[in-house]
Structure 1
Amino acid sequence: MSPIKPRRMSVRMNEHDVDEVAFLTGESTNANKRTLYEQDRIAVCSQKRAVGVALLVFFALFFVAVIIAFATPLSGCSFLTGPSDPSLNPDEGSDEHDFISESGELFPWTKPRLPTDIKPTHYTISIHPNLTTLDVTGWVVIRFEVLVETSLIVLHSRNITIIDKWVKEEVEDGHRVEPLNISQLLEYRPFQMISLEMKDESALIPGKNYSLGIRFHTNISTELEGFYLSSYVNSQGERRYLATTHFEPTYARSAFPCFDEPQFKAAFKMIIIRNQFHKSLFNMPIKKIETVYYGYNMELWRDEFEESVEMSTYLVAFVICDYESISNKTSKKVEVSIHTPHGLLNQAQFALQTAVQLMDYYDEFFSICVPTDLIAIPDFGAGAMENWGLITYRETSILYDKNESSSAAHQWVAVVVAHELAHQWFGNLVTMRWWNDLWLNEGFASFVEYVGVDHIQPDWKMMEQFVLEKTQTALALDALASSHPISVDVRDPREIEAIFDTISFNKGAAILYMLESVLGQSNMRHGLMDYLNEHKFDNADTDDLWTALSSSANDSMKVKTIMDTWTLQMGYPLIRVHIENNSIRASQTRFLLNAYDNETELEHVENQFGYKWYIPLTYVTDLKPRSMQLVWMNRTDYEFNMPFRAEWIKFNVNQTGFYRVQYEGQLWDSLVKVLLTNPFILSPTDRASLIDDAFTLCKAGLVDANIPLELSQYLIKETEYVPWATALEHFRSWSKVLYERKAHRPLIQYVQKLTEPIYKKVGWADSGTHLFKLLRGEVLSTTIHCENKDAEKEAMARFDNWMKKGVRVPPNLREVVYSAGVKYGGVTGWDYCWSKYNSSRVPSEKKILLKAMGSAADPWLLQQYLEACLDREVVRPQDVRTVLGVVAANPSGRLLAWRHLRAHWFTFQSMFGEGSFTMGSLITAVVGHFSNEFDYREVTDFFSDKDVGSGTRALNQSLETIRLNMHWIQNNEDDIEKWLQVHVR
């Protein structure tokens, strides 16, 4: 289907707007302004004279060449250059030929980060985007303070044409000041930088303030970064266009020239030229609107916004759209507004209510609250972005229809709204100095989001779910040799993009949760408030946080000493505990999944701590199962007496610690016994952590497969969501890698046997508590996967009634019912879901349908589905990863997805950009389940000559995972099969 495009119209500005930059320069603008590089005048001469000059040049060059040839020493040795001067780039050590600008001259700055000789203090930005031609004209004036005498200004610019530029000294008496003489403007694309050099070597004097003015042209991007184009289809079937921004981490430079590093905070004033059919939004409220052009059937309006607080460039945001909005106010009368495409406003009520409640809570917790707009963006690469005062969200992260959306979607909206609002303090008010401390932003927001939602929705038991969603996912990734420390050195945009991952987000959150468990909530809260107040509107680093938290604990705990072992080295400890003569000995070593028979083959990255940690080791026993005890392992082992008459001991209470525990001998046996006989004496999170540790230790080859299998038998009695979700995730992992093996069929039968009691308990009625509904979804999905005939029959009956009679499927059953209908309903079921996907205006419903259509049993349907991903107006680019992921998870489609990724690799690169983290997630989704030598070599060979950009670490982790899968099958398949033969009857 061809897109319905908006009527093309000629957009022009009157003389006032075209020359708006003239008031800044004192010069009139015209069509003959000098472009990016200074050009010499063209000399004109006669034809005869030109021929004569050419002959003279030729003979001169010939004689020079002869002289050089005979003057050069004859030697059989190759000509070797001396070592490059590392001072050119202390970070990389490269020679000067690496720093040749686009005009062929030597670029004067040789480091990937900007110089700190000058500090920007204020930006005034004016842009006029044309949503039809995608052209953007604009200008920016940057006021800056000189800290060190220099003649050089270096800043960021990417894919921007500089039309004009000037530099002036700022004077207070209002006298006219002539611009400084600029000798040259150069661009160095590898660093995405431009430089302006003054003719006078001491032109910029310390202590004085100057202004840099730049008039420029660029284009609205079609990728999901920078200033880019998005669209939606309204209820009348018309496609409407909008332009929006996503600048984190390094994309502000592609919208306007700027100092695009987080430590360069400044205030921003924004001016946007737009037509009368749209409205514009910025980080701050609008100050003034005026009409600047009247034309046939069109007007141009100039929106001027209030000046912002000081913030980093990655937090700047603006949107030009035709949306509608609703608003509400907090208890302190701070306004909160949500903007959506026309016809979707009714789905924004829950997010608005949640935002108001959370802002009241966060204000009480942290103080300082500002007016905030939240806006739904149809095409959005991330889940959301915390731009100060204008938070952008993917539609599924902010829109919720209580009649059409599931409990999982309900919780997702609450969590993402909470995450981005938490950033208004952690990230916006106080910002990391450099991206190596990204976790200060994302780890905090990922922790506080659960604290916030737990406060407004206590029945959801969010801190139980925290262990499932944050701690366990981080533990899984951080067990790889290709992981990285929380605080990691990064230099260029690709490296920066690569650390927006589970380590920065979830591990960062998990170690904060662990720290709170030992500091106490009160000390943690007061320390965070001190941290925010001390560094508000400024930058901070990890040490600043540790100082504030140590102070809140009255320096009774050396927080920095303890926490450096968790942030500055990758991985985490494995605590091995064994008992001898009633004495328990706990020893620590790094936990690492090992794909090799010989551990010496692993490459260990050395660090100052030697993979030893300060560990808050907690435990409970049967004598006092609700009374937690704490001992510290100070980078050492620990020994203590087993409590008298205790029958069992469970370490890492509620999995608040970021470590795993391996019990030896009778300690494991006693825990398995208590789970089988009296499981509910342990908390749901303790039961979940035992499951998680047992399966993961098996994956690492540290315990036999019979340990997690024996332990899993207790699940017949389990009724809680978190333990079940933990267990089923591990069984799904086993199923994927064993799919082509003999053990797969008995494994499926065993899981079906385990789930029979809970399947009968949850039933098919969409009722119960929030957690019970989440549990029902997990159980029903598993029973369909395990080919439970009763579940298949029930699901297909509901699908047929929906497809043939229009009988509504309850929201929490839809993912199961739709997937079963596609799997067993053939082309008819798939086509019906496809038509519903294209007609639905409920984002959460579209997401469920998108996932369900990957369940098809027919390979040709899956191939057709994959090909639809290549049309961005059929399947949005942000959803391509979901489609490839669900097809790859389907045994009928796993090789199709891999073939599709290879065949269209360059298409995906142009769709997402090399710097996008999406490329890495595509690789992981498609190949992460591979488990044989042939697949491993095929993946290695394909990517051997591919530039995967910021996806390099994700590729390495995927290759490591494939080797782990191969190694695990080799060592465990026979044992699993033997155990299942005994226990599946």
Structure 2
Amino acid sequence: MGKGVLLSKVLAVMTAVMTVSSVSGMIIMLIIYQREYKLNPPTRPPTANATVPLPTGLPPSMRLPKNLVPQRYDLHLQPLLYTQTTNTTNQTLAFKGSSNISFLCVERTGTIFLHSKDLSLTENTIRVNDVDQGKVIPVSGVTQHMNETNFLEIHLNGELKVGSNYTLFIEFKGVLGDDLAGLYVSKYTEKSTTDRVDDERLLVISRLQPTDARKVFPCFDEPAMKAEFMVTIIHREGTKALSNGYFKESNSVDIDGELWEISTFHQTERMSTYLLAFTVSNFKYTSSHHDRVEIKIHARPQAIEAGQADYASGVTEKMLSFYEVYLGRMYGFKKMDLVAAPDFGGVAMENWGLIMFRESALLYEEGVSSITNQEWIATVVAHELAHQWFGNLVTMKWWNNLWLNEGFATYLSYLGVDHLQPDWNMENLMVLNEIQTAFQVDSLASSHPLSCEENDIQSPSDITEQFDDISYSKGAALLRMLADYISKGSFILGVKKYLDALQYSNADDRDLWEHLQQAVDMNFLKVEEFMYTWTNQMGYPLITINTTTGAVSQQHFLLNQTSTYDLVWHVPIRVRKSGDNPSIVLLKTSGPETKADFRANHNQWVLANLNCVGYYRVNYNPENWARLLDQMETDPQEIPLINRGQLIDDAFNLARAGHVNVTLALSTTRYLRNDTEFVPWEVAIRNFNYFLLMFDRSEVYGPMQAYLRNQVQGLYQHFENVTLASSVPDSHSDQYNQINAVNVACKHGMPACQTMVQELFKIWMLNHTNIIHPNLRYSVYCQAVALGGEEEWEFAWRMFQNATSATEKDKLRYALSCTRKIWLLNRYLEYTLDPDKIRKMDAVSTINYVAENVAGQALAWDFVRAHWTYLSQEYGGGIMSFASLINGVTQRFSTDFELQQLKQLQSAHGKQGLGSASRALEQAIERTQANIQWVKQNKRTVLEWFKGELRRP
């Protein structure tokens, strides 16, 4: 036991010594390691890269992913139909084709997303090639999404790498429909020169804006995904093919025992898919001469032979030269083809190098077309040519900034036509046609900003809704105001910088402000800050001026003031006092602010918004209104012509919104009995149309008709001699006012006018000689049919069917809606469902014409509701058309019962069922609510005012 204890002590001592030694050694080693680590830090060994999985699943929104950038399309199309048919022709309303898309990968992916709609794909022919590596990437599967995304999803057994170039080859087939969208069939009749039956001709035509390129070929169908296009069209022998590019060559080939022509076209510039275009037809053309550009107007052979394309040909050449000088940049293509399509869903489409028009917007026939038709053609051609720079050369990045295309084209079209026809007073017409039009939509709480967030616009129906009066008319109005404020010289200089910097690319509104800022020689003016208040806010301001104190303030103008928005604009106010020079004031607060410019002395009046360059309405204190009205009664020439119209328009709309008494608005029209100028009369007629819509089913209508008949008597007599001689005055504006005189006088029961139109129409019916001047046919036809019966209606229908001029057909189509016979109106509505009687492109406007007629209002509304599903499927694809149908058939709504019907329609179909008409229905509901309230508040006052006026000596 003692030995064991001794050994344990020895062992313990030795263990302690060894432990101390070890710890000491470790400490010493640690100190040495730390010193060496600081002197020579080690290099970390490399670590393996983490494996990042390829993106899978659908994109998070309805937009295409940005991982692939298209560079070029090699596109082959073969429409299979025959343009001329016989009893033995096996007609095929289909097309087939192939597309080889070159694209760059900017984010690695194993899936290709693009757009395809209503196309049958030959999946076993889909090939993806790695151009850089010279190898094929296998396709593992294809998914076509049948929802609103229209996504075509191509799954790969492999990876697309960043910076590498690829091609995607796809074969496809599609249907040549008659829906006026994508690639579709149009038809017309060639009048036989022998005893044979007239021959029907077919043609293929395209309309791809905004999202229908995907119906023709699989593509990256977004405006910022620009590419170059090499197009080849395979078409029947003896037909002519057109596309955007300059014609290259054509060869005849035998395919399955039939002769076909293969037409190839030179490569286009970089452009968006919606601007691509094609036609195959038996059309002929007329040409005009330009220094560098080959201009051709294509149309039905008989229209060309009759010289109906000559006017547009001359306008195109002159307008193109004007824009090249004004914008300081040459048109980018070698050729420009303009095509008059017998069937076209819109008015026109600006496809780069191949512009499409409906016939009435391009063809003018001397002795048949009116001054209105002539001006319309000039304006539409000018609009589409302006798009060659604004929309084609520089394109908006996304549809939320559509106004950069449409607002610019609308604004420039007035400058262009004014250059060609300075005696037409296009500045005044722009105020009437664009500014006052935009005001009506923009005074509703259901309006929308000119520029909205990209994410707010996703689906095709969202996109279609952007094609409205806000994008077109308000966009143009704001550009006009901005050009006036910063000076027209600075404006065009900035616009040139914008075009130079962004050519063949895409832009948003900030790009425009940036380049305009570079041109503005005013450090205190921040263009973006100024314009943001106008483009990113809905609506417009009402400027209220107290001329006694000089106080000025602003508020959001709404027809229904129960809606409140805290909005403030930067408002440039051009103002003049009687006897003084004009001045300009910038109002940037809601106010009131006191300004000497607005303070009047004694009997002096103040007039704001000189020449209506500002996008706002103006209200005054009662004393100033009285002085302005007195000035118009005693010497209206003291007030600029366009401002006489502005005062009437502002007063009527202020009365509708409850800012002034309705009697003030009506009083602005008293002086018209002594005024023969077009602008104030046109404004008054448009505003009285609202009163007619509200009261033509009530006891107010009789006294109102009598008042208008009295007021127009002087105007009718002013033009009576030339009217009875079936002639017109020399002045452009006087010709318009002659039409107004006949319209108002006949519509409101002036015996002399009604006798005149009946006699002229009867001469035509009996002698088959039409001596009615083209300017007056629209009015005379309508009033004669309204005053007549079945015989007059049937005659007008036969003349409509036989007319060879599109403008003449339009006049007769309107006249047929003027009858007061309910059974004829019902028959006419049924005709709109038959494209052989009323072309699809005219169906919506024809229904709206019937709804304008008080006898047809309820018929049209019931017809639309009864056929809603059919109409939405067959006619709802056209830009703006279906929304215009809602607006047209509900414009007279002013009762609680009608409001309930609107809400029932909205509830029954929902947003998805309403599609692009959803916003229009919301606006119709809001407008009807405002009408109901206004009629209840003002009906008695209006009735008493008209009765009182009839008692005046």
**Which of 245, 251, 258 is 1:284 aligned to?**
245
- The alignment status of 1:718 with 2:675, answered yes or no, reads yes
Map 1:452-531 → 2, pairs under 5 A = 452-488=416-452, 489-531=456-498
- Structure 1 position 452, deviation (Å): 0.3
Distance across 2 between alignment mates of 1:716 and 1:337: 48
The alpha carbon displacement at 1:693 in A equals 0.1
Figure out how many residues of one structure are paired with residues of the other and give that number: 859
- Measured after TM superposition, the shift of residue 199 of structure 1 is 2.0
Asked if the contact 1:107–1:186 (Cα under 8 Å) also holds between the matched residues in 2, the reply is no
Question: Residue 540 of structure 2 corresponds to which residue in structure 1?
Answer: 572
Q: CA deviation at 1:913?
A: 3.8
Query: Residue in 2 aligned with 1:347?
Result: 308
Match for 2:372: what amino acid? A
Matched, 1:217 2:168: no
Residues of 2 paired with 1:879 and 1:523: CA distance?
43
1:906 is displaced (CA, Å) by 2.0
SS in structure 2 at match of 1:136? strand
Per-residue Cα deviation, 1:29-61 (whole angstroms, up to 9, x for no partner): xxxxxxxxxxxxxxxxxxxxxxxxxxxxxxxxx
- The offset of 1:494, in angstroms, is 0.5
In 2, Cα distance between the equivalents of 1:474 and 1:915?
21
1:124 matched to 2:84: no
1:544: how far off?
0.6
Structure 2 equivalent of residue 961 of structure 1: 927
For the residues of structure 1 that align with 2:185 and 2:740, how far apart are their CA atoms?
37
- Secondary structure of residue in 1 paired with 2:760: helix
**Matches for 1:430-829 after TM superposition, within 5 Å:** 430-488=394-452, 489-556=456-523, 557-580=525-548, 583-594=549-560, 599=562, 602=563, 604=565, 610-624=566-580, 627-637=581-591, 638-641=593-596, 642=599, 647-763=604-720, 764=723, 765-807=727-769, 808-829=771-792
Deviation at 1:412, TM superposition (A): 0.3
Question: Using the alignment, how far apart are the partners of 2:199 and 2:877 within structure 1?
Answer: 32
* CA distances 1:487-539 after superposition (whole Å, capped 9, x unpaired): 12311110000110000000000000111111111111111111111101111
CA contact (8 A) 2:757 2:783 kept: yes
Q: Which amino acid aligns with 1:525?
A: I
Q: Is the 8 A contact 2:747 2:783 kept in 1?
A: no
What residue identity is the alignment partner of 1:522? G
Secondary structure, aligned partner of 1:494:
helix
Query: Residue 337 of structure 1: which of 296, 301, 307 is its match?
Result: 296
Cα offset for 1:265? 0.6
Q: How many angstroms apart in 1 are the aligned matches of 2:160 and 2:382?
A: 45
The residue correspondences of 1:401-440 to structure 2 (distance < 5 A) are 401-440=365-404
- Which of the residues 205, 208, 216 maps onto 2:161? 205
Judge conservation of contact 1:470–1:506 (CA < 8 Å) in 2: yes
Return structure 1 stretches of 4+ with deviation > 6 angstroms. none
Structure 1 residues without counterparts, runs of 5 or longer: 1-105, 605-609
Q: Please list the CA deviations of residues 931-963 of structure 1 after superposition, one character each: whole Å capped at 9, or x if unmatched.
A: 111111122213322211111001111111112
**Residue deviations 1:714-761 (CA, integer Å, cap 9, x gap):** 111222111111110111111111012211111111111111111111
The superposition leaves residues 786-843 of structure 1 with CA deviations (integer Å, 9 ceiling, x where unpaired) of 1111100011111111111233211011112111221112111111110010001100
Structure 1: how far apart are the matches of 2:564 and 2:480?
30
Deviation of 1:644 after TM superposition, in Å, equals 5.4
Aligned partner of 2:273: which letter?
Answer: T
Change (3 A) 1:643 1:933: closer
Whether the aligned pair in 1 keeps the contact of 2:486 and 2:520 (CA below 8 Å) is yes
Shift of 1:880: 1.0
Partner of 1:16: none
For 1:888, which of 851, 859, 870 is the aligned residue?
851
Is 2:603–2:627's contact at 8 Å kept on the other side of the alignment?
no
Matched to 1:444, the amino acid is: F
Mapped partners of 1:773, 1:915: distance in 2? 33
Q: Secondary structure at the match of 2:668?
A: helix
Percent identity between matched residues is: 34
Question: Larger deviation: 147-156 or 654-663?
Answer: 147-156
Q: How far 1:469 sits from its partner (Å)?
A: 0.3
2:84 is aligned to none
Amino acid at match of 1:323: F
Q: Secondary structure at the match of 1:199?
A: strand
Aligned partner of 1:208: which letter?
Answer: S
CA RMSD of aligned residues (A): 1.5
Deviation at 1:767, TM superposition (A): 2.9
CA-to-aligned-CA distance 1:433-466 (integer Å, 9 cap, x gap): 0000000000000100000000000000001110
Q: Aligned-pair distance for 1:222?
A: 1.7
Residues 613-658 of structure 1, C-alpha deviations (whole Å, 9 max, x = no match): 000011112113xx43101011342321226567101001111100
Paired residue for 2:801? 838
SS of residue paired to 2:697: coil
Distance 1:800 1:693 in 2: 42
> How much does 1:896 deviate?
0.9
Deviation at 1:396?
Answer: 0.5
Decide whether the 8 Å contact of 2:72 with 2:227 is kept in 1: yes
Does structure 1 retain, via aligned residues, the 8 Å contact 2:181–2:877? no
Tell me the equivalent position of 2:811: 848
Superposed CA deviations along residues 691-729 of structure 1, whole A, max 9, x for unmatched, are 000000011111111101111101112221111111101
What is the deviation of 1:389? Answer: 0.2
Q: Which amino acid aligns with 2:826?
A: Q
Cα distance in 1 between the residues matched to 2:898 and 2:950: 31
CA distance in 1, matches of 2:330, 2:876: 37
Show the counterpart of 1:399.
363
- Pick one of 217, 223, 229 that aligns with 1:268: 229
Secondary structure at the aligned position of 1:984 is classed as helix
C-alpha contact (below 8 Å) 1:826/1:858 kept by paired residues: yes
Q: What does the per-residue CA deviation read over 1:141-200, in whole Å, with 9 as the maximum and x for residues that have no partner?
A: 1100111222221100011111021111114xxx8x331022221122221001112223
CA distance in 2, matches of 1:767, 1:347: 24
Kept in 1, the 8 Å contact 2:237–2:252? The answer is no
Q: Conserved in 1, the CA contact under 8 Å of 2:902 and 2:921?
A: no
Superposition TM-score, scaled by structure 2 size: 0.89
For 2:221 and 2:540, locate their aligned partners in 1 and report how far apart those are by CA, in whole Å: 34
Q: Which residue type is aligned with residue 588 of structure 2?
A: N
Change (3 A) 1:846 1:914: closer
Q: Residue 25 of structure 2 aligns with which residue?
A: none
Deviation at 1:910, TM superposition (A): 2.5
1:127–1:272 CA contact under 8 A, matched in 2:
yes
**C-alpha separation between the residues in 1 aligned to 2:809 and 2:330?**
37
State the alpha-carbon separation in 2 of the partners of residues 916 and 474 from structure 1: 17
Distance 1:715 1:358 in 2: 37
Structure 2: runs of 5 or more not aligned:
1-55, 82-90, 193-197
State the match for 1:110 in structure 2. Answer: 60
* Partner residue in 1 for 2:942: 976
The corresponding residue for 2:340 is 376
- Output the amino acid matched with 1:558: K
